[in-house]
Chains A and B, each alone.
Chain A
Amino acid sequence: MTRDQITENLRSLLRQQKQLKIDVDKISPESRIDAIGFDSITILDFVYDLEERFKVRIEMADLVSIRHVKDLVGYLEGKLAG
């Protein structure tokens, strides 16, 4: 899967998060994850859905170190390649 495809999948997942009140199209690779508008539960919903969509497992330590959308895309790219 290319970076663009991963990014598009992320956007699609974010659109499905019913409780997020943001314009997903405005999210760029430079956007901070903590600026997307998650709360303690919606961030976990998103991670669960992410793991199911990409069939990967996101480790706890990795989860707290990912700060930007581009980091997440790079992380998923690495996981999918491995």
Chain B
Amino acid sequence: MSPLLKLGYLIQLVVVQTLLLFIGLAPLSLVLAAADLGALLSFTLWRSRRRTTIDNILKAGICADEPAAKRMALASFRSFTTLIVESIVGRRRLTAANWADHVAMRLTPEAEALLRDPRRGLLVASAHIGNWEVAAHAVSMLKPITVAFRPFHNPYLEKAARKRRTGENLRYVSREEPNPMRFVESLTKGEIVALMIDQHVARGHVAVQFFGRPAWTTQILAMLHLTTRAPLLLAFALRTGPLRYEVRTVGPIERARTGDREKDVLALTQALTDEIEKVARAYPEQYMWGHRRWKGFPGQ
């Protein structure tokens, strides 16, 4: 690492740590106001991300025209900055004793039985909607959970973030860690393995339809289900108010094996993506539209 890059990374770390200190000490109302301001500023200044967000909302057919898409894009920016600050505040304030006051669990009976069975490994797909950090934290109160994530480029930030996010029953595992059996090992211990599956991936992917357009999506969750037979749910946490959430589940989602691996992976991943699309359509202001979901296909 060059000295200049190292300096840049360290400056980033200091800025983030200072912000974290402010978020941790200030009253929630002030923190939320700052998040709103942050959303407005980033929406105004970060033109490329704003454009991507608006374009994606229009491509998905969520809004019919540019002004409506612009309003929805700003709401999506607000949802994201709120997620950041509430995740930081929530990590301090949500405990095993009070988390049920903040998080309502709206689970299917099958999902609830699976979450309360300490012996059974469980696969959970999730998406960038509502507050996925709180969803993982809340679910970890019921069952140990391993969350696969994409690490930050900045190694100092990465170390600090991992330390803050990890909880008693909540473990973050980099997608780039070399042990190929790490997820299967977690499942054999009766843990949850959770992955966000609504972002573009360049390798190990399958092309599904998302809002009627092809989108590269990771195969790993489908392959884990097909080979380990662990039940597969979709779970997400919608924000219902300041530090208030509702965790919902869909499934178990099942597809019988046909003997054609590629066909099975596509069917399962498409089924999960269809459910994510339904949620994004129902709560578009809480969905993160700024990601270039459809990249890698001609004309996208």
In the complex, B187 has a CB within 8 A of chain A? yes
- Given known pairs A41-B219, A41-B223, A44-B227, the reply for A49 and B180 (CB within 8 Å) is no
Closest to A58 in B: B227
Tell yes or no: B183 within 8 A of A by CB: yes
Taking CB atoms, residues of chain B closer than 8 Å to A42 are 180, 204
- What chain B residues lie within 8 Å of A58 (beta carbons)? 227
**Cα-based distance from A39 to B182 in the complex (angstroms):** 10
Known contacts A39-B180, A60-B188, A64-B188: does B259 contact A44 (CB below 8 Å)?
A: no
**Distance between A44 CB and nearest chain B CB, rounded to angstroms:** 4
B45 / chain A contacts, CB cutoff of 8 Å: none
Q: How many residue-residue contacts, CB under 8 A, span A and B?
A: 53
| CB pair A45 B187 closer than 8 Å | no
Closest residue of chain B to A57, judged by CB?
Answer: B229
Tell whether B224 is near chain A: CB-to-CB under 8 Å: yes
Interface of B, helix, strand, loop or mixed by DSSP: helix
Contact B204–A47 (Cβ < 8 Å): no
Interface residue A43 (Cβ < 8 Å from any Cβ of B): yes
Interface range on chain A: under 10, 10 to 19, 20 to 34, or 35 or more? 10 to 19
Q: A40-B183, A61-B188, A64-B188 are in contact. Are A49 and B220 (CB under 8 A)?
A: no
Alpha-carbon gap, A42 to B121, bound state (A): 21
Cβ < 8 Å to B, chain A residues 8-61: 34, 38-45, 47-49, 51-52, 58, 60-61
Chain B residues close to A by CB (< 8 Å): 121, 175, 179-185, 187-188, 204, 219-220, 223-224, 226-230, 259, 261
Taking beta carbons and an 8 Å cutoff, which residues of A are in contact with B? Answer: 34, 38-45, 47-49, 51-52, 58, 60-61, 63-64
27 residue pairs from A and B, CB less than 8 Å apart: A34-B179, A39-B180, A39-B204, A40-B175, A40-B182, A40-B204, A40-B220, A41-B204, A41-B220, A42-B180, A42-B204, A43-B180, A44-B226, A44-B227, A45-B261, A47-B227, A49-B261, A51-B227, A52-B259, A58-B227, A60-B121, A60-B184, A60-B188, A60-B228, A60-B229, A61-B188, A63-B227
